[in-house]
């Protein structure tokens, strides 16, 4: 059975002034998908994440957020950036503030904040200034903050690009755990190994156009359109 749709784009385009960033995209993100956005610098990955999240409007076409059945509510989405945006507050209060902004009451805020810190292995660091944490810890804190929102869908913009290998493994493994718990993932990445490890579907973008939308194994093994083949040859010298 096909999983229910969470977000769909119909002939959606995004322009900055007269510069097109995304052109005529048609796609559906379904519950449980683990989607990688792949493509060269400037191909439109971040713009697509922002369009899907609702941070950027479609200049043409449309984006539809589908209600969850049986609740009838809109899916909750959270976004993680390459460099986490953290306030000059303790790690704990960065999470609590986000929950307060969502209207969560005090007892539940406290409970969800502590559970989120625990979940990412930062229970002991809750009282430290967020910006004093290491890069890997900051990204785990940003993940904790996102997880505390109880998201149905998590958008990730190159979430491990600025991390060392060990921090990268920790963050990857947390994201994969969230996916196993049922969170839908849409993630841009330049790391094709990571794409293979973490995602079951690849959207390949070239100059703002969606060139292919394939299961991950087919993306790496099938005959692809010329643009994608060239990209893979450049990224994977042994391909
Ligand atoms: N705020 C903006 N104002 C003007 N142009 C923008 C803006 N954001 C993105 N663009 C342009 O839109 C196009 C797509 O950019 P985008 O950042 O989505 O690509 P990307 O695939 O995420 O790139 P990278 O891999 O380098 O992060 C590029 O030509 C970029 O210059």
> For residue 227, is pLDDT > 90?
no
In percent, how much of the chain has pLDDT > 90? 84
Tell me how far apart the alpha carbons of residues 180 and 174 are, in angstroms, rounded to a whole number.
10
Statement to judge: residues 195 and 136 lie in one domain: no
Section 87-105 average pLDDT: 96
> For residue 19, is pLDDT > 60?
yes
Statement to judge: residues 71 and 110 lie in one domain: no
> For residue 236, is pLDDT > 90?
no
Does residue 164 belong to any structural domain of this protein? Answer: no
What are 115-167's pLDDT values in tens digits?
Answer: 999 999 999 999 999 999 999 999 999 999 999 999 999 999 999 998 999 99
Pocket test for ligand 1, best of 22, 37, 45, 207 (most atoms within 8 A of CB): 45
pLDDT at 239: 38
The phi-psi region of residue 79 (left if phi > 0; otherwise alpha if psi is between -120 and 50; otherwise beta) is beta
Which atom of ligand 1 is nearest to 17's Cα?
4
Statement to judge: residues 237 and 210 lie in one domain: yes
Which atom of ligand 1 is nearest to 37's Cα?
21
- If we measure between CA atoms, which residue out of 144, 125, 31, 143 comes closest to residue 81? 143
**19 C-alpha to center of ligand 1: Å?**
10
pTM of full prediction above 0.90: yes
**61 C-alpha to center of ligand 1: Å?**
19
Whether a cis peptide bond, with omega within 30° of 0, leads into 131 is no
Q: Ligand 1: residues within 6 Å at CB?
A: 16, 19, 21, 39, 41-47
* Residue ending a domain, choose from 107, 128, 150: 150
Statement to judge: residues 52 and 111 lie in one domain: no
> For residue 238, is pLDDT > 70?
no
* Residue ending a domain, choose from 129, 150, 171: 150
Pocket test for ligand 1, best of 42, 49, 58, 235 (most atoms within 8 A of CB): 42
Does residue 165 belong to any structural domain of this protein? Answer: no
For residue 111, the enclosing domain spans 79-150
**213 C-alpha to center of ligand 1: Å?**
20
Tell me how far apart the alpha carbons of residues 95 and 109 are, in angstroms, rounded to a whole number.
9
Tell me how far apart the alpha carbons of residues 23 and 11 are, in angstroms, rounded to a whole number.
8
> For residue 168, is pLDDT > 80?
yes
**ipTM above 0.90 for this complex:** yes
> For residue 43, is pLDDT > 50?
yes
Pocket test for ligand 1, best of 20, 46, 59, 189 (most atoms within 8 A of CB): 46
Query: Where does 59-146 show beta strands of DSSP type E?
Result: 60-65, 77-80
Statement to judge: residues 7 and 72 lie in one domain: yes
Which residue has 């190159």 as its token pair?
158
**45 C-alpha to center of ligand 1: Å?**
8
**21 C-alpha to center of ligand 1: Å?**
7
Does residue 25 belong to any structural domain of this protein? Answer: yes
> For residue 172, is pLDDT > 90?
yes
When divided into structural domains, the chain yields a total of 2
């Amino acid at each position: 059975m096909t999983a229910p749709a969470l977000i769909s784009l119909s002939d959606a385009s995004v322009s900055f002034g007269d510069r097109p960033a995304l052109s005529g995209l048609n796609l559906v993100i379904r519950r449980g998908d683990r989607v990688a956005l792949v493509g060269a610098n400037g191909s439109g990955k971040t713009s697509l994440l922002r369009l899907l999240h609702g941070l950027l409007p479609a200049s043409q076409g449309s984006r539809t957020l589908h209600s969850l059945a049986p609740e009838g509510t809109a899916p909750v989405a959270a976004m993680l950036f390459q460099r986490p945006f953290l306030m000059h507050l303790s790690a704990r209060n960065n999470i609590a503030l986000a929950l307060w902004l969502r209207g969560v009451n005090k007892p539940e805020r406290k409970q969800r904040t502590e559970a989120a810190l625990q979940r990412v292995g930062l229970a002991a660091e809750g009282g430290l200034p967020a910006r004093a944490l290491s890069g890997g810890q900051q990204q785990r804190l940003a993940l904790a903050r996102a997880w505390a929102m109880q998201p149905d869908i998590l958008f990730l913009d190159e979430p491990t690009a600025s991390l060392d290998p060990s921090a990268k493994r920790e963050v990857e493994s947390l994201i994969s755990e969230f996916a196993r718990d049922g969170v839908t993932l849409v993630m841009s990445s330049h790391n094709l190994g990571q794409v293979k490890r973490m995602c079951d579907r690849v959207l390949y973008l070239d100059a703002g156009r969606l060139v292919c939308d394939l299961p991950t194994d087919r993306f790496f093994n099938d005959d692809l359109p010329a643009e994608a083949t060239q990209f893979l040859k450049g990224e994977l010298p042994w391909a």
